[in-house]
Structure 1
Amino acid sequence: MDRRRWGTVVSIAMALLVIGMALLTPVAQAAAPAAPAQDLLDPSPPGANDWGCRPSPEHPDPVVLVHGLGANQALNWSYVAPRLAERGFCVFALTYGRNPLAPPPLTQVGGLAPMETSAAELGDFVDRVLAATGAGKVDIVGHSEGSLMPNHYVRFLGGAEHVGRYVGMTPLWDGTETAGLALLNRTGQQLGLGPAIGLALDPLCASCRQFLRGSDFLERMNSDGGPRAPGVDYTMILTRYDELVVPYTSGLMDGADNIVLQDGCPTDLAEHVAVAFDPVTLQHIVNALDPEHARPVRCLPVGPEAPTAS
């Protein structure tokens, strides 16, 4: 390979790496203070993973929380998990898709593995939740990658029979064009550089290129009439201020209850990560999980960034 062609490989690979780091960095900034030493491996968020919890008649399906890229269960769900538990839900969370070869501190976060691998990991976790609780189905609440990856489990790994409600926050069914990276990725593929780009990026974040518009993962997800699986009740929660899902309308799903936060609450300025710490979003989640007792959503002023502690 001549130097000009190799320079193109490096340029595109580095540009694609930006999306991984852009998605990883905000969640780290939203982290709570360091946990005690005995919890450092993979602490549960407050209110989650009580394996003795038995679902009530009011909330018969346990809720499984699925974090985003570069997060883990504790970072992503420190706000939502305890508040769902307070409302009587059995709440469970996991950290999936870790890359043991990634440099610290990325070894402590998940979502880095190929999403097909993470979906199988999620399926095993759902089986464990169902066995422990005696429930027939779970409800999924996911953020960012956690709004997309679980649908691979639902559509292609038999998960539809085990999932009742599916709530996605900042989803990206059509991928993202962040910083033009999808175009760069397509250009690299047209130049025959796809394998070289993968060699540069995939060892750190094998899922990163799967988020880009036009990826093989998204093409399959949208095949056969779109991502929606029959029998699953979908709710998608989007924000106009999403700086990582570009355009934010990539999160719209045909046949779902699509909610754009600012349509009902113009003072909610939450960006991509902040949605997981947003009291307005929480109200939509609770209504989606329990539509028979849905309440009007109270509009509150919400800042654009996630808090540094919850």
Structure 2
Amino acid sequence: MKLSFSALFTAAATAGLFTLSSMVKAAAIPAAGHSPVAVATLPTHSFEKRSIAGINNFNCKLTPKHPRPLLLVHATLLTMDSWWTFAPHLIKEGYCVFALTYGRYDNIPFVGGIAPVADAAQEVATFGEQVLQKMNATELDYVGHSQGGILGRYWAKYLGGANKINRLVGISPINHGTTLSGITTIAQALKIFAPAEPIFDSFAPSFYDLVDTSPFIAKLNAGGDTIPGVIHSNIATKYDEVVTPYKTAFQNGATNTVLQDLCMLSINEHLTIINSFVVLRWVMNQLDPVNAKSASCLSLLSFA
């Protein structure tokens, strides 16, 4: 059986959360004044440059080659700093790159993407609209990893963002939910899935929102996979243990690509797919198809 970083991460996280949930429940339940980041008044550190030089720079000039701001949206349990591979190269290429850490709880530090997914989508929408206003732009391009890949869809479909997103690029997006390599299916069969939900919801309600049978996923896909006027594209990896089956990342009516079809040597899975230069080149090609270059095993050389 193949073991990878995502497999170990998923197994360890699941076991750890079940074991520790009773210990962290009291500390993790949002108390008064410690709710998820308010969507109406985003904290100022959402716009900080953080450790990635050049990100969230409102002095960046849009150009005819790159006429729209580029919004990068991270995955569950990650933060905006997870774009440390992609963002510097995109900035160097001339993009005006913006990112935030969404879906946090004040009393659970270091991670994002754990608040209810609908709330996270509103937070991303508010941030995106602020970027558009500050950059004097009417549309932006959107690149999202995992949960981040579907928040733009929700913004476009339900929060008035359909005419504000030009291209929506998903990197292992959870477009149709996940079984977490069968963990949720087994839990449902053992009848422990529903009883465990209140425990998880006390500190990470997004986990249950992202399961393939959740009401959120049903609402997200109601009426079709894509939004008219938005250019959709997705890339997935065969070695994904978080978005499972991996082809559920794809959408009808979108450009859908398997990483290993570009480079059969790529072993990147769910977490490390955003560290792949093959994927970076593919993303750049989606953002600027007129100037596309081959995305292949040789892409590493072009970013050396």
User: Aligned letter for 2:214?
Assistant: S
Structure 2: distance between partners of 1:173 and 1:143: 11
Q: Is the 8 A contact 2:181 2:241 kept in 1?
A: no
Matches within 5 A, 1:70-81: 70-74=77-81, 76-81=82-87
User: Aligned letter for 1:60?
Assistant: P
Alignment CA distance shift 1:233-1:49 (3 Å) = same
Q: Is the 8 A contact 2:181 2:245 kept in 1?
A: no
Deviation track 1:183-202 (CA, whole Å, cap 9, x = no partner) reads: 245457xx6973x4222111
How far the C-alpha of 1:215 sits from its partner, in A, is 0.9
Deviation track 1:252-286 (CA, whole Å, cap 9, x = no partner) reads: 11111101011121011111111111100000010
Matches within 5 A, 1:177-192: 177-184=179-186, 186-187=188-189
How far the C-alpha of 1:18 sits from its partner, in A, is 1.1
TM-score scaled by length of structure 2: 0.80
**Is 1:150–2:152 an aligned residue pair?**
yes
Structure 1: distance between partners of 2:205 and 2:75: 14
Q: Is the 8 A contact 2:149 2:169 kept in 1?
A: yes
Secondary structure class of the residue paired with 2:253: coil
Q: Is the 8 A contact 2:184 2:193 kept in 1?
A: no
How far the C-alpha of 1:293 sits from its partner, in A, is 1.3
1:69 to 72, 76, 87: 76
Q: Give 1:232's aligned residue.
A: 230
Report the number of matched residues: 263
How far the C-alpha of 1:241 sits from its partner, in A, is 0.9
User: Aligned letter for 2:150?
Assistant: L
1:59 to 60, 66, 76: 66
Q: Is the 8 A contact 2:80 2:101 kept in 1?
A: yes
Mark the runs of 5 or more structure 1 residues left unpaired by the alignment: 1-14, 23-37, 303-310
Q: Give 1:140's aligned residue.
A: 142
How far the C-alpha of 1:157 sits from its partner, in A, is 0.5
Q: Give 1:160's aligned residue.
A: 162
Identity of matched residues, %: 35
1:43 to 35, 50, 67: 50
Structure 1: distance between partners of 2:242 and 2:17: 11
How far the C-alpha of 1:132 sits from its partner, in A, is 1.3
Structure 2: distance between partners of 1:151 and 1:16: 30
Matches within 5 A, 1:217-296: 217-224=216-223, 226-296=224-294
Alignment CA distance shift 1:119-1:44 (3 Å) = farther
1:100 to 89, 99, 106: 106
Mark the runs of 5 or more structure 2 residues left unpaired by the alignment: 1-10, 19-44
TM-score scaled by length of structure 1: 0.78
CA RMSD, Structure 1 to Structure 2 (Å): 2.6
Structure 2: distance between partners of 1:138 and 1:175: 25
How far the C-alpha of 1:43 sits from its partner, in A, is 2.1
Q: Give 2:95's aligned residue.
A: 89
